[in-house]
Amino acid sequence: MIESFERAAEIIMASELTVALTGAGISVESGIPDFRSAAGLWSRFDPGEYATIEAFRANPQKVWEMLREMDEVVSRARPNQAHRGMSELEDMGYLQTIITQNVDNLHQTAGSKDVIEYHGNASTLSCLWCGRKYLTADKRKEHLPRCECEKILKPDIVFFGEMIPEEAMNRSFELASSTSALLVIGTSAVVSPVNAIPSLAKRNGANIIEFNKEETHLTDSITDVFLKGNAGDTVPELVKIVKQKKGMDA
Residues that bind ligand APR (CB under 6 A): 23-25, 28-29, 34-37, 40, 101, 119, 186-188, 190-191, 212-214, 216, 230-231
Strand extents, DSSP E, 158-236:
181-185, 207-212, 225-228
83 is catalytic: no
**How near is the Cβ of 98 to ligand APR at its closest, in Å?**
13
How far is the C-alpha of 191 from the C-alpha of 32, rounded, in Å?
19
**How near is the Cβ of 103 to ligand APR at its closest, in Å?**
7
CB 33 within 8 A of CB 41: yes
**How near is the Cβ of 148 to ligand APR at its closest, in Å?**
29
CB nearer to ligand APR: pick between 85 and 147: 85
Three-class HEC string of 64-92: HHHHHHHHHHHHHCCCCHHHHHHHHHHHC
Residue tagged active-site, from 107, 119, 143, 217? 119
Would you give the end-to-end CA distance of the chain in angstroms?
19
**How near is the Cβ of 176 to ligand APR at its closest, in Å?**
16
CB nearer to ligand APR: pick between 161 and 205: 161
CB nearer to ligand APR: pick between 125 and 235: 235
CB nearer to ligand APR: pick between 189 and 206: 189
**How near is the Cβ of 195 to ligand APR at its closest, in Å?**
8
- Length of the chain equals 250
CB nearer to ligand APR: pick between 87 and 147: 87
Residue 16 burial by CB count (10 A; 0-12/13-18/19+): exposed, middle or buried? exposed
Closest CA to 209 of 198, 197, 223: 223
User: ∠ CA 210-213-217 to the nearest 5 degrees?
Assistant: 55
Helix (H) or strand (E) holding 20: strand 18-22
Q: Which residue is nearest to ligand APR (CB)?
A: 25
Q: CB-based contacts of 13: which residues, under 8 Å, 6+ apart?
A: 94, 242, 245, 246
Catalytic residues: 119
